[in-house]
Amino acid sequence: MLESLRSIVQEVNAARDFRNVLDIIVSQVKASMDTGICSVYLRDAEEQDVFVLLATQGLNPDAIGKVRLKEGEGLVGLVARKAEPVNLGRADQHPNYAYFPETGEEAYNSFLGAPIIHHRKVMGVLIVQRQNQRPFDEGEEAFLVTVSAQLAGVIAHADATGELSRLTSLKQQDERVELVFTGVPSAPGVAIGTAVVMAPVSDLNAVPLRTADNIDQEVEQFKAALTATRKDMKALDRGLVGKLNDEERALFDVYLRMLDDHALGGEVVEKIKEGFAAPSAWSMVVLDHVSRFERMEDAYLRERAADVRDLGRRVLSYLQESENRIPVYPDNMVLVGEELSATAFADVPVEKITAMVSVQGSSNSHMAILGRAMGIPTVMGAVDLPWTEVDGAELIVDGHRGQVVTWPTEEHKAVYIHEMEEEKLLAEDLKVLQDAPCITCDDSSIALWVNTGLRLDAKLSLDRGAEGVGLYRTEIPFLMQDRFPSEEEQRQVYREQLEMFNPRPVTMRTLDIGGDKDLPYFPIDEANPFLGWRGIRVTLDHPEIFLLQVRAMLRASEGLDNLRILLPMISNLNELESAKRLIDQAYKELTEEENIPLQKPKIGAMIEVPAAVYQVEEIAGRVDFLSVGTNDLTQYLLAVDRNNPRVAELYHSCHPSLLRALKMVADGAARAGKPVSVCGEMAGDPVGAVLLVALGFRILSMSANNLLKVKAILRQIRVDEVSALLNGIVQLEDPVMVKSRLEEAISSPEIDRLIRPVAVH
């Protein structure tokens, strides 16, 4: 059974299109289960309570698209309504049985139907039928349920990309029709621009679909890539004389022949002549061959798929090298990638980026944080976006609602242009608050600091009237390098920050890598990276890296005295003591051995692991200040990966448990007499900021972009009122209720304008 399942999944993954997927499902399931009929019904994209027969083996194929059942109607509708399998020996005797003469099914008595469910929604029903009058056995039922569960994702993807609606409505539709893809809202704002796809090199599955500008030139480049690869293969072959026997080496001849005109080479030239650019044509042809090998019965031949893939990568890297497209970056470009990372900023002119879309990641991934820091509307986790196919397409990116619209209609664009104008007006109106103090209506003063990491966001912060830096993420300059930066290189970068903000305090966090922040030159490969070697754990294991960084920070602070050092991911007191000892060591080296006059910086600990919440007083007793990282604290407290779009809906900073934990931190710090700030993203969300003030926090650190909105909202509330509200709110059981109760309580036209994006219909 496992073998049949593997082969079904493999064939489905290699299918040309969704029609082909459905045909594979019915024919393979029918063959593996040895049934007379196998059919798939899917929910109609327009009439959502109707299920349509879309593929069958065994029933009359003319019935496809014609047999339509409402939820609850017939046995198919029963499976859909119950959302569980129905297994019958005599289907015709069941009260729900409905007979459709056009299907020609009368001879089939036994019936087994399994629902196809994705994210709790029944997308369709998979049916098998036999002539005998016995129910299917338990093993068969379990098999059908397994197949359905595996296929649900593919069907949901077809639904999102519009392929399903093309089939169910049976209308001819233009490929370039407007489609809306949903992801995770990650940096607010709306933008319209042209997609520029960032693809990793030499990855056959990530070649952007591009057309050829000049066909002859593409063919020539392709031939040159083949010649270069042939040369490499021959050199490789020569190097293996004596190491492999002749038979094994003969494989190289096979590869060389595969590149010939009557094999892969010829097919690719044909594709280029159809108008595809050489890398696109090559990847399509190679992947097609790889999938054919993968589906072969013979294990030896199946293994050859890896060889074809390897050959494919070799030619592709030559093609990409010779692709002497001088990249032309449109002024309003939307950066699109499967897994966008900060390194993209090194390759493109940052000032031209108008929006960002990533297929992977979620709202607290570091790319999202950068998007917010730079005021670039960002959608992460757009898992269904056919990202390799949108290069050059016009896109609307809606960072408020987490939507990406491909090939938008003029009407839709007009609605968004209106929203962009509204946003511009709001930003203009907020400018007057730049130099105004952040004081609530009952005279409490709240310090608004900023989170920085790039030179760009530091400049923006000063323009917005930031009172200090609550979190300088030092890993960002580390990410932009191809090796660890030297002490002097670090000193210069840190000095610039300290000087720019002087005399305001700058809180520099020691290197916080691991989790989703991998340095290209120091990869950490772990099964469970967020629970693994990250933050202080890495740097305490590598005191040479830690000491170098702390020395650079201290030297940078000479004569400025506005440095504060913050330690990330503290989960026990030992880590704190060890880190403090190392900071002391660096301080002594510099002041006593190297005679540099330095003031000792204040040292703080991040509270971002639940264990630290319960030891907050002990931690506070050992440091000068605390800073709460709500991004990680939420992830660890709620057990929700901050990067995983599948569970993004569970990641909620209004969760009552999180509020209670935050209250413990605020109270603990107050008892210990130590200042505490919040530097997680919650502080930069206007509603989150109100909650934090109600909880007792008086220093909030956020992306510069949110600073004026937060200031505007805090200047309109009373601390005594929101604190009184809080007592009732933390008793609520549900995060959505918490948010709406608070929003309702503080609602006014001025406040609503700050917290709600304009509705788009």
Q: Which residues bind ligand PEP (CB under 6 A)?
A: 369, 471, 473, 512, 608, 629-632, 679-680
Q: How far is the CB of 256 from ligand PEP (least distance, A)?
A: 50
Q: Please identify, using beta-carbon distances, which residue of 85 and 381 lies nearer to ligand PEP.
A: 381
User: Measured on CA atoms in the order 645, 650, 654, 658, is the torsion positive or negative?
Assistant: negative
In the set 38, 438, 654, 679, the catalytic residue is 679
Rule CB under 5 A: say whether 391 interacts with Mg ion.
no
The CA distance from 710 to 656, in Å, is 22
Q: Please identify, using beta-carbon distances, which residue of 79 and 471 lies nearer to ligand PEP.
A: 471
Q: How far is the CB of 44 from Mg ion (least distance, A)?
A: 45
Q: Are 616 and 663 in contact (CB under 8 A)?
A: no
Any long-range contacts for 294-300 (C-beta under 8 Å, 24+ apart)?
Answer: 294/10, 294/14, 295/7, 295/10, 295/11, 295/14
Q: Please identify, using beta-carbon distances, which residue of 140 and 608 lies nearer to ligand PEP.
A: 608
Query: Which residues is 335 bridged to in the sheet?
Result: 196, 356
- Contacted by 113, from Mg ion, ligand PEP, none: CB < 5 to 8 Å by type: none
- Phi first, then psi: what are they for 613, rounded to 5°? -65, -45
DSSP H helices in 673-715: 686-695, 704-714
Q: How far is the CB of 364 from Mg ion (least distance, A)?
A: 9
- Contacted by 630, from Mg ion, ligand PEP, none: CB < 5 to 8 Å by type: ligand PEP
Helix axes 686-695, 719-729, angle to 10 degrees: 90
Active site residue 679: yes
Tell me the window of 88-96, 496-504, 621-629, 706-714 that interacts with Mg ion (CB under 5 A).
621-629
- Contacted by 471, from Mg ion, ligand PEP, none: CB < 5 to 8 Å by type: ligand PEP
Q: How far is the CB of 701 from Mg ion (least distance, A)?
A: 13
Rule CB under 5 A: say whether 629 interacts with Mg ion.
yes
In the set 366, 400, 652, 655, the catalytic residue is 366
Instruction: Give the count of beta carbons closer than 10 Å to the beta carbon of residue 669.
Output: 23
Residue 222, both tokens: 């392709």
Q: Please identify, using beta-carbon distances, which residue of 265 and 629 lies nearer to Mg ion.
A: 629
Q: Are 366 and 358 in contact (CB under 8 A)?
A: no
The CA distance from 230 to 232, in Å, is 5
- Contacted by 408, from ligand PEP, Mg ion, none: CB < 5 to 8 Å by type: none
| DSSP-assigned states of every residue in 405-469 | EES--HHHHHHHHHHHHHHHHHHHHHGGGTTS--B-TT--B-EEEEEE-SHHHHHHHHHTT---E
Residue 245, helix vs strand vs coil: coil
- Contacted by 473, from ligand PEP, Mg ion, none: CB < 5 to 8 Å by type: ligand PEP
Of 209, 211, 208, the residue nearest 274 (C-alpha): 211
- Contacted by 280, from ligand PEP, Mg ion, none: CB < 5 to 8 Å by type: none
Tell me the window of 109-117, 278-286, 545-553, 623-631 that interacts with Mg ion (CB under 5 A).
623-631
Residue 31, both tokens: 């063959």
- Contacted by 192, from Mg ion, ligand PEP, none: CB < 5 to 8 Å by type: none
429 dihedral zone (left: phi>0; alpha: psi -120 to 50; beta):
alpha
Torsion angle in degrees (nearest 10) through CA of 618, 622, 623, 627: -20
Residues 258-277 that bind Mg ion (CB under 5 A): none
Q: How far is the CB of 383 from Mg ion (least distance, A)?
A: 24
User: How far, rounded to the nearest angstrom, does the alpha carbon of residue 680 sit from its chain's CA centroid?
Assistant: 18
Q: Please identify, using beta-carbon distances, which residue of 143 and 625 lies nearer to Mg ion.
A: 625
The residue with its CB nearest to ligand PEP is: 629
Q: Please identify, using beta-carbon distances, which residue of 184 and 679 lies nearer to ligand PEP.
A: 679
Q: How far is the CB of 368 from Mg ion (least distance, A)?
A: 13
Q: How far is the CB of 632 from Mg ion (least distance, A)?
A: 4
- Contacted by 123, from ligand PEP, Mg ion, none: CB < 5 to 8 Å by type: none
User: Measured on CA atoms in the order 752, 753, 754, 756, is the torsion positive or negative?
Assistant: positive
Q: How far is the CB of 669 from ligand PEP (least distance, A)?
A: 16
Rule CB under 5 A: say whether 475 interacts with Mg ion.
no
Q: How far is the CB of 572 from Mg ion (least distance, A)?
A: 16
Q: How far is the CB of 190 from ligand PEP (least distance, A)?
A: 24
Residue 221, both tokens: 């480049």
Tell me the window of 101-109, 413-421, 604-612, 614-622 that interacts with Mg ion (CB under 5 A).
604-612
Residue 324, helix vs strand vs coil: coil
Helix axes 138-161, 18-33, angle to 10 degrees: 180
- Contacted by 358, from Mg ion, ligand PEP, none: CB < 5 to 8 Å by type: none
Q: Please identify, using beta-carbon distances, which residue of 44 and 512 lies nearer to ligand PEP.
A: 512
Q: Which of 294, 632, 681, 685 binds Mg ion (CB under 5 A)?
A: 632
Distances (CA, A) of 266 to 222, 404, 418: 11, 38, 51
Q: Please identify, using beta-carbon distances, which residue of 128 and 662 lies nearer to ligand PEP.
A: 662
Tell me the window of 136-144, 185-193, 239-247, 625-633 that interacts with Mg ion (CB under 5 A).
625-633
Binding-residue total with Mg ion (CB under 5 A): 3
**Buried-state track 109-140, b at ≥16 Cβ within 10 A, e below 16:** bbbbbbbbbbeeebbbbbbbbbeeeebbeeeb
Tell me the window of 195-203, 235-243, 433-441, 601-609 that interacts with Mg ion (CB under 5 A).
601-609
Q: How far is the CB of 670 from ligand PEP (least distance, A)?
A: 21
Q: Please identify, using beta-carbon distances, which residue of 71 and 339 lies nearer to ligand PEP.
A: 339
User: How far, rounded to the nearest angstrom, does the alpha carbon of residue 589 sit from its chain's CA centroid?
Assistant: 43
- Contacted by 679, from ligand PEP, Mg ion, none: CB < 5 to 8 Å by type: ligand PEP
Tell me the window of 337-345, 458-466, 628-636, 703-711 that interacts with Mg ion (CB under 5 A).
628-636
Going across the sheet that includes 179-182, the strands are 179-182, 403-406, 394-398, 190-198, 333-337, 353-358, 378-380, 184-187
Length of the chain: 761
Active site residue 366: yes
Residue 544, helix vs strand vs coil: helix
Q: Please identify, using beta-carbon distances, which residue of 124 and 629 lies nearer to Mg ion.
A: 629
Q: Please identify, using beta-carbon distances, which residue of 498 and 679 lies nearer to Mg ion.
A: 679
The CA distance from 392 to 408, in Å, is 13
Instruction: Return the active site residues.
Output: 366, 679
Would you tell me which residues interact with Mg ion (CB under 5 A)?
608, 629, 632
